[in-house]
Structure 1
Amino acid sequence: MALSCVCMSADVYVVCLQHALSTEKEEVMGLLIGEIDVDAKAKISAVVMLRRSDKRKDRVEISPEQLTAATIKAEELARTLGQPMRVLGWYHSHPHITVWPSHVDVQTQAMYQMMDQGFVGVIFSVFLEDKITKEQEVQVTCFQSQSRNMEGTPDHYMDRIEIPMRIIPTTCLSQPCLRSMVELPEILLQEEDEVYEATKRLPHLNQLAQLHNNAVYTKSLCHIAEVVQGPLLNALEQRHATNVKRCEELRSEMKHLTQALASLPPAAPHH
């Protein structure tokens, strides 16, 4: 049975979008954590970013080890928050291409649904530029897969079902989402480390090639610091400053109300 809709909290949407915008050349992916209610409504409240072992322009995959680790994290969140939580979907990015799932995405989604009929896929299309206005936009779609009969034949093929998606406003950034957001630079650094260490094991690597690899590795680390880690730190510092200012305003308002309450005449006794 298809889901009736997907409700994603705003802080999860921010984390997923930040992850999708972290690289313009390859797809990124992660897992969605939450619960499904009796009305077949998926409520997504946390996210697990995944490290890519294989960087491709048009394809991403989830290893069994990553899925197991995300399941363990969902169980930990369930104990911490005191509510049911499980892995109920996956998301990935489409840089520079349309938001619609490819046939590979539909087949991958169908494979996940064999394990869990409530599993859902979310795609973030990023870095799309309007050729006239030169403005960039972000598109998001939610989908599941279903089997359809080909007319006139006994064969089946997989088709997508578009699932309605709603962004639920949140008043703050939850701790699980904040942890995921802070983990992004570390995940990107781990990916670069893996690639760099792999180049060291290449046979017949001369000194000039090694110097070139060192330079590329250093450039990649500087790029992560410039476009991901630096802006993330600035954003969190601004959020902290805003929260401190808001706390001061609330304390001032509470003091004013307390003084106004103290100046009121005592209430007349009831007979």
Structure 2
Amino acid sequence: MGSVARVKLNADAYLACLTHALSNETEEVMGLCIGQANELRFGCEINICAVMLLRRMDKRKDRVEISVEQLSNASTVAEELAKKTGRPLRIVGWYHSHPHITVWPSHVDVQTQAMYQMMDQTFVGLIFSCFNQTKSNAHSVEMTCFQSRTNQEWDPPQYERIEVPMYVEKTKTLSEVNLQTLIDLPNILVQEEAQAYETVAGSCGDHILTNIHNAAVHAQTICNITETVTSPLLHVFEAAISSHQRKVEQVREENEKLKKEIFLLEKEKEAECTD
């Protein structure tokens, strides 16, 4: 398969990525992209239809890593989704956030991307830059898609980024897999914080004030997740339910209208047969 010419990101998958990126203002988060690769005349087109959130085993401000186990689990999820949809779905890329910094990949990101491309040359990387302010103090979100290549002109040769055109593809509804991804997000964030709290608590001994402080910080973090992630998601889901209920009511009204029309047509037909 040839080089990647462009990437299409489904709108509901974009929503899941962006919600995940906005869930943490101080640390990078990451996940994997599920989709399919289509060979075109001018190159390969990657269509990302779903994303899989990854729980961070090592929380660091400016570094994210994918374990072999996580890649294996993600491949299994992609295979199950492929069987369910009848499409040749697989892991086609990864994404991570850049809170308060530029959208462009760091040299570490470029090297990480090069490693993935050794296994799959069409593998792509997405970055979501968030929590940045414009000159008018408005918050901005930027995203980019990239791959890596070796620049032989440098001595020694080094990896450099290649920008890949990316478009957000409109979707009519929120797919089941991306809906489940959004539902899972608060649970993953809580699990990460619980693991971090247990690690710190286990290394601080029995000093009562230290333990009280750690417990208070943990409680504050959980409240922050509820306020910034869980509560907005509930509002989104409530709005979606209301919208679906209105559509169901419209369908019922149309159904009743059609039943009446069919009834009248049958009566007219019976009258014609009688005559």
TM-score for both structures, normalised by structure 2:
0.91
Q: 2:139 aligns with which of 128, 136, 139?
A: 136
SS in 2 for 1:108: helix
**Does the CA contact (< 8 Å) of 2:204 and 2:210 recur in 1?**
no
The 1-side partners of 2:3 and 2:56 are apart by 29
The 1-side partners of 2:206 and 2:134 are apart by 44
Query: Residues 93-135 of structure 1: CA distance to partner in whole angstroms, max 9, x if unpaired?
Result: 111111111111111100110111010000111111112x111
The 2-side partners of 1:137 and 1:228 are apart by 18
Runs of 4 or more off by more than 3 Å in structure 1? 257-266
| Counterpart code for 1:235 | V
**Aligned residues, how many?**
266
For structure 2, the residue ranges without an aligned partner over 5 or more in a row are none
For the pair 1:73 / 2:77, whether they are aligned, the reply is: yes
| Counterpart code for 1:61 | E
SS in 2 for 1:46: strand
**Does the CA contact (< 8 Å) of 2:35 and 2:92 recur in 1?**
yes
Q: How does 1:104-143 map to 2 (within 5 A)?
A: 104-131=108-135, 133-143=136-146
Query: Residues 216-246 of structure 1: CA distance to partner in whole angstroms, max 9, x if unpaired?
Result: 1111111111111111112101101111011
Pick the structure with more helix per residue: 2
Q: How does 1:153-164 map to 2 (within 5 A)?
A: 153=155, 155-164=156-165
The 1-side partners of 2:78 and 2:258 are apart by 43
Query: Residues 30-61 of structure 1: CA distance to partner in whole angstroms, max 9, x if unpaired?
Result: 00011101221111111100111222222111
For structure 1, the residue ranges without an aligned partner over 5 or more in a row are none
| Counterpart code for 1:77 | L
The 2-side partners of 1:105 and 1:233 are apart by 34
**Does the CA contact (< 8 Å) of 1:2 and 1:144 recur in 2?**
no
**Does the CA contact (< 8 Å) of 2:31 and 2:53 recur in 1?**
yes
Counterpart position of 1:32: 33
**Does the CA contact (< 8 Å) of 2:204 and 2:211 recur in 1?**
no
SS in 2 for 1:172: coil
Counterpart position of 1:237: 238
Query: Residues 62-96 of structure 1: CA distance to partner in whole angstroms, max 9, x if unpaired?
Result: 11111111111111111221221111100001111
Counterpart position of 1:171: 172
SS in 2 for 1:100: coil
Q: How does 1:204-223 map to 2 (within 5 A)?
A: 204-223=205-224
TM-score for both structures, normalised by structure 1:
0.93
Identity level (%): 48
Q: CA deviation at 1:258?
A: 4.1
| CA RMSD, 1 decimal | 1.8
